[in-house]
Amino acid sequence: MSMSSVVKLSGIRKSYRRGPEEVHALDGVTLDLKKGEVVALVGPSGSGKTTLLNILAGWEDPDSGRVEYPSAPGIHPGELPWRDIAILPQSLGLIDEMNVRENIELAARLPEGPGVKAVREKIDGLLGELGLANFQDRPPAEISIGEQQRTALARALLLSPRLLLADEPSGHQDSAWAEGVFKTIRAAAKQGTACLVATHNEELLQFVDRIIGIRDGHLVDVEHPGLRPPEELAAQVVERSQAASVAETRGKTTPFRPDDLRSKFGPQS
């Protein structure tokens, strides 16, 4: 596997004003992500994970320090197309007016994108793999939050981006789907995508290549909980997720509608 650098950060600092107080969200972060690796970014709430992802994405600018994309020297990360940087934000950011399939197609539909026809097989593959095929015609408001999150992952991976920035991609998943999400990310890495995944999910950490800890805006070393070769881990995850999908098809899946929720838990009229 090539070990070429996809992005390098050096000496990144970022603070926010909150009233009289200055919050040092990032306090000198240096980081190098390589092609095809899956890196977990692990730290408590408020430690700076989302801020770091936002700076990598060019959604925010650091106060000081450098962000370098060797494949696109001199270009601001916020200007890079989805093929270079794809993002699964913590807030998901799906478009309400588009159904699941159209949301996933987004990067292909953009003027600089390859068009929907060119990626039809990839879309169908992602819909199947992430358990979304049955919901593809529904708007985000009519599927579960876990399904919305898997839709946002499929959208991010559609064009096999050089870099995936995923903020808590298993945050809304049960343990079987957390592994399904990991499997999809692992498959993208195998195709060359560098994946930076902010996560609280310790079960998933055994499946990543590298763990970076973050505390109060500083990167810290984290003990890896038993790293095994990625291929071996991937095989294990595939096996387990197949077992899970068999169990799922045995159980009855009831379509979810907002009306159902309201009639069960809403005010009684």
Ligand X SMILES: Nc1ncnc2c1ncn2[C@@H]1O[C@H](COP(=O)(O)OP(=O)(O)OP(=O)(O)O)[C@@H](O)[C@H]1O
Query: The tokens of 66 are what?
Result: 């450098």
Rg over CA atoms, the chain:
19
Q: What is the closest distance, in whole angstroms, from the C-beta atom of residue 262 to ligand X in the complex?
A: 29
Residue 188, token pair as written in the block: 């993208």
Residue nearest to Mg ion (CB): 50
Site for ligand X in 47-86 (CB under 6 A): 47-51
The CA angle 205-156-112, to the nearest 5 degrees, is 150
Smallest gap, in angstroms, from Cβ of residue 50 to ligand X?
3
When CB distances are held under 5 to 8 angstroms depending on the partner's kind, the choice from Mg ion, ligand X, none that residue 45 binds is ligand X
Q: Identify which of 153, 194, 169, 152 has the alpha carbon closest to the alpha carbon of residue 37.
A: 194
Instruction: Match 């916020």 to its residue by tokens.
Output: 78
- Mark 33-52 with x for binding to Mg ion (rule: CB under 5 A) and - for no binding: ----------------xx--
Cβ proximity to ligand X, 140 vs 217, nearer residue: 217
Smallest separation (angstroms) from ligand X to the CB of 153: 17
Which residues 6+ apart lie within 8 Å of 105 measured at CB?
116, 119, 123, 158
Pair of tokens at residue 108 = 């292909």
- Joined tokens for residue 178: 């957390």
Q: Of 204, 256, 252, whose CA–CA distance to 226 is shortest?
A: 204
Residue given tokens 């920035």 in the structure block: 165
Smallest gap, in angstroms, from Cβ of residue 25 to Mg ion? 10
Q: Which CB sits closer to ligand X, 51 or 241?
A: 51
Say which entry of Mg ion, ligand X, none residue 51 contacts (CB below 5 to 8 A, set by partner kind).
ligand X
Question: Residue count at the site for ligand X (CB under 6 A)?
Answer: 13
Residues that bind ligand X (CB under 6 A): 16, 18, 23, 25, 43, 45-51, 90
Residues that bind Mg ion (CB under 5 A): 49-50
